[in-house]
Homo-oligomer: A and B are copies of this chain.
Amino acid sequence: MHLQLNFKSGKPAYLQLAEQIKYAAATGVLRPGEALPSIRPLAEDLRINRNTVAKAYAELESEGVIETRQGKGCFVTENNSPLRKAVRQEIVSEAIDYAIVQAHHLQIPPEEFIELVKGRLEHFRTETEKPSTSKAGD
Cβ of A40 < 8 Å from any Cβ of B? no
> Is the C-beta of A27 less than 8 angstroms from some C-beta in chain B?
yes
Majority-rule SS of A interface residues: helix
Q: How far is the CA of A136 from the CA of B103 in the complex (A)?
A: 14
Asked if A107 is at the interface of the complex by the 8 Å CB criterion, the answer is yes
Contact A99:B98 (CB < 8 A) given known A113-B121, A121-B113:
yes
Name the residue in A96, A98, A102, A116 with the highest tally of chain B Cβ atoms < 10 Å from its Cβ. A96
Chain A: interface size category: 35 or more
What's the least CB distance linking A95 to chain B, in Å? 4
A118 nearest CB neighbor, chain B only: B114
Chain A residues proximal to chain B, CB less than 8 Å? 19, 22-23, 26-27, 83, 88-89, 91-108, 110, 112-114, 116-118, 120-121, 124-125, 133, 135-137
